[in-house]
Amino acid sequence: MAQDRLVMGVDLGTTNSCVGVWLNGRVEIVPSDQGTRTTPSCVAFTDRERLIGEGANHQVATNASNTVFDVKRLIGRSFSKTDAKYWPFQVTEDSNDNPRIKVSYLGKEKEFSPEEISAMVLVKMKETAEAYFNRSRQRQAVVPLITTAVITVPAYFNGSQRQATMDAGFIAGFNFMRIINEPTAAAIAFSVNRDCSKSTVLVYDLGGGTLDVSLLVIKKGVLQVMATSGDSHLGGEDFTNNMVDRFVNEFKSKNPHIRSDISCDKKALGRLRRSCEDAKRRLSTVPLIPVEVDALFQGIDFQSTITRDQFQELNVDLFSRCMEPVRRCLADAKMDKNKVDDVVLVGGSTRIPHVLKLVKDFFGGKELSRNINADEAVAYGATVQAAVLTFPGLNLPKVLDITPFSHGIGMPQGVMCVLFPRNTTIPTRWSNEMEFTTRKGNPSSLDIKLYEGERASLSVLSWSNAIKVLFRMDVNGMLRVRATDHESGQEGKVTIRNNVRRLRTEEIERMVKDANNYKAQDEDYRKNVQARNDIENLLYTMANTIMKLQDLVARLLLHEATPEEETQTPAYQDSAARLLPEATPEEETQTPAHQDSAARLLLEATPEEETQTPAHQDSAARLLPEATPEEETQTPAQQNSAARLLREATPEEEKQTTEQQDSAARLLPEATPEEETQTTGDHADCTPGLMQYIFRWGAQNKGKKKIQAQKDSIKKLQDSITKLQETADATIKWLQNQELTTNDMIARKNLIQSINKQIERASH
C-alpha cells in the first residue's frame, strides 16, 4: 500500500551518518538505537560479533586494530600511505592498487574492501529506519520495507567514487533512486517552507573528510545548481591528525629515555586520537582545553593543554585551503560574492570558530545562515528528494544538478576533446554524434578512451574502426555511451565505469552473499546473547525462590506463624487466655491427676463402662468414674476440684464463659446441622467448665494434625529446594561452555522456565 511505502534519505558521512524517513507527510530524522540523531560511521570486529555505530565507536581504544572508520576516504580511491599511518587498523593494497582493510573477525584474518565497510554502515541505517517506521505504526515485528533510497556523496566525488558508493548500496540491498550531492541536499533542506521568488544561496559544507561548496539559484520551487567546487581530502579528520602529530612529538620530547616509538603502538594512538577529537570539539566553546591520557604508553601518563590560538596555528595550512573552493565556485558561476543572498553552513567542522571567521570575513561580514541543523540538513534534503521521486504529486522543491568535472575523449593529437564541461546541468547529452574512422587495417573492434578531469593534454591515441558514438550523462553523473557500426548497423550501449577501481561483477555478487551471511551471524549472535541473558535472569529468580523456600522451611520447623497467621495470633492468644482460668496453688500440685480425670471424661466408654450406664444418672457418677485405690488418697482434693468444675457459675464467670464460647466459635469452623444436633444431645448436660476441657482437647487434636501436615509440607519444600539447587548448579556449569549454539540456549531456557513453574505450583 502507498501509505506503507517507506522512502529514505541517507547522509553517508566520513565521521557520522544520518538517516531520515518520509512519514506522515514530513521528514523525520531517525534517532539511533542509542537515542542520538547521528550514527558513527564505524565498524568493529571481534571474535564473537560485528559492531556498527555507537557500539563500535565505544571500544576503539580497546580494540583499535579491528575498528574501522574514515572508510569514505578510501572508497573509489587508490591506496595511500599518507592516510594509513593515522589509522590503527591495517590497510594494504591489492594487485590493482586498490585498498583492502585487514581485520580479525570470528578468530580469522579477513580482508574487506571499502565498499563492504560502507555497505555495513548503510545496512545499519536501513535497520534503524525500518525499526523507527514499525514503532511509529505500532507493529509487532520489523518488516523489511526499504529497497530504494537516495544517498548523498560529496559534490567533488569523481565518477569512480560515485560508482563505488553505488556498489556499496547494492551490496547493502538497495536499488538506488538517486545519488545526490551533499551541498545540493542541504540547499533542499534550506529551501523547504521558504517563500521567496528568487534567492542566490551558497552552501559551505565542511564535514569530517571533505569540503564542498555549491552555488544555487532558488526560483519558484526549483533549485538550479550554478557551480560546485570542493576538496575531497579536507575535513575535520585532518585537523585531528595534526593534533595527534603535535602531541606525539610532545610525548617523545617529555620522555627521551623511552627508546620505543609510540607511533608504532596503534592502541596508544587510538586513545590519543580519541582525546584529540574531544578536545577539538570543546575548543569550539572554550579557549583552553587540557588533554590527558592515563598510561598512554608503557604506563606513562600524558598531560598537556592546547589553546584555540595554538589550534589555529597548528592548522594554518588547512585553514588556508578552506576558502579556495569558494573562490573557484564563484568564478565558475561568474557570480560576484556581493550578490549572494544567503550563506548556509553545513557539516560539523563549520562549528570551528576560525572557519566561521574566515567565511564571514570573505563575504564582508555578512551574517551567516545557521537556521538549519548542520548535522541533519544533508539527510533531511536527501529524504525530501526521495519523497519527490516516490510521490510526484508533492509540492516540494525540484533539483537541477550539475557534474563537478569535465568529461571528454582522447584525440589522436594527444589532447582531450571535452564533451561535457564541468558544471554542466545533468541529465544531458552530446548534441552531435561523433564519427570515428579507421586509419589502417580492418580490425573488429574500436577502443575509445574516456577521461574525467580538467587536464587537456593526453597521450596520443589511434583509431581502429569507423563507428558513430553518442554520449549521454545521467542524473547520477554516470556517462553512458551508445555506439553504432556504419557497415553492419550493429548497436551497443554501455555505462562508462572506471574498471580499474571498480569491483567486478563476481566480486559484488560474492560481497552481497557475504553481507547476508554476516547479517545472519549477527542475528544469531544477538539471539544467543538474549537467550543467555534470559537464562541468567531465570537463575537469579531461581536463587530468590530457593531463599524464600528455605526461609519458609525454617519458619515451619520453628513453628513461626506465617504473615496470615500473625494477624490472627493476638486474638488466638487472647481467646486461649480467657478459656483457661489461672490455676490455684492447690490445683498446680494436682494438675496431673486432674488432667488424667479430664482425659477419662472425654474417652469413649469401654464395654465394662457401658454396664455402669444406669449409674450415670447421678451427675457426679456420670462425670467421674469410681476412684482407684491410689486416687482415693487424693479424693478430697479431687472433690474440691470437681466442686469447682461443677458448681454454678457466678455472674462474673457467666460473663467470662460467654466470652469463652464466643472465642471458641471464632476459632473453630462452623458446625454442620447434623453436628449441631449431635453436639446438643451429647453435651446438653455439660457445664461451662467441662466445655473448656472439650475445646482444649479438640485444639490439641487439631494441632497434632496440623503438625503432621507441616511435616509433609516441609518434606515437599525441601525436595523442591534440592531440585532447584541441582538445576541451578548444572546450568551455571553448562553456561561455561563457550561453544553453545543458540538452539541449545533456547532449549535450556525453556527447561528452566518449566521447572520454575512446576515449583511455583507445588509451593502454592
Query: Among residues 502, 536, 568, which one ends one of the domains?
Result: 502
Same domain, residue pair 682 and 563: yes
Distance (Å, rounded) from C-alpha 690 to C-alpha 594? 12
| pLDDT, block means (10 residues), the chain with 764 residues | 71 95 91 91 93 91 91 88 81 87 93 95 93 73 71 91 91 85 94 82 95 93 92 93 95 91 88 93 94 93 96 95 95 94 94 95 92 93 92 85 82 72 81 58 64 58 53 74 66 60 74 84 83 83 80 72 48 46 50 48 46 44 47 48 46 51 47 49 52 59 62 76 79 73 80 75 63
Chain segment 101-136, per-residue pLDDT in tens:
999 998 999 999 999 999 999 999 999 998 888 877
Q: Is 257 helix (H, G, I), strand (E, B) or coil?
A: coil
Q: Total domain count for the chain?
A: 4
End-to-end CA distance of the chain: 52
Same domain, residue pair 85 and 158: yes
272 is a domain residue = yes
Distances (CA, A) of 717 to 278, 464, 705, 763: 59, 96, 18, 7
Distance (Å, rounded) from C-alpha 755 to C-alpha 764? 14
Same domain, residue pair 307 and 185: no
333 is a domain residue = no
419 is a domain residue = yes
pLDDT of residue 528: 82
- CATH at 497: 2.60.34.10
159 is a domain residue = yes
222 is a domain residue = no
How buried is residue 352: exposed, middle or buried, by Cβ count under 10 Å (0-12/13-18/19+)?
buried
Same domain, residue pair 599 and 695: yes
Q: How far from the centroid of its chain's Cα atoms is residue 480's Cα?
A: 43
Query: Among residues 502, 531, 565, which one ends one of the domains?
Result: 502
Distance (Å, rounded) from C-alpha 168 to C-alpha 179? 12
572 is a domain residue = yes
SS3 content of the chain, % helix, strand, coil (to 5): 50, 20, 30
- CATH at 189: 3.30.420.40
Same domain, residue pair 173 and 296: no
Cell of 392: 510526484
613 is a domain residue = no
Same domain, residue pair 16 and 62: yes
Whose cell is 521558504? That residue is 194
Q: What is the DSSP string of 258-301?
A: --S-GGG-HHHHHHHHHHHHHHHHHTTT-SEEEEEEEEEETTEE
Query: Among residues 275, 294, 319, which one ends one of the domains?
Result: 319
Q: How is residue 690 annotated by DSSP?
A: H
Same domain, residue pair 497 and 542: no
pLDDT of residue 449: 73
Same domain, residue pair 299 and 441: no
Same domain, residue pair 150 and 59: yes
Buried b or exposed e, range 474-494, using 16+ CB within 10 angstroms: ebbbbbebebeeeeeeeeeee
How big is the chain by its Cα radius of gyration, in Å?
46
Say which amino acid occupies 207. G
Tell me the residue range of the domain where 537 lies.
504-604+653-764
Residues forming the active site = 11, 72, 182, 205
8 Å CB contact between 19 and 10: yes
> Residue 101 pairs with which residues in a beta bridge?
91, 112
Same domain, residue pair 574 and 663: yes
Same domain, residue pair 474 and 513: no
8 Å CB contact between 190 and 369: yes
Same domain, residue pair 575 and 697: yes
pLDDT of residue 136: 73
Nearest to 240, CA basis, from 314, 169, 298, 317: 314
206 is a domain residue = no
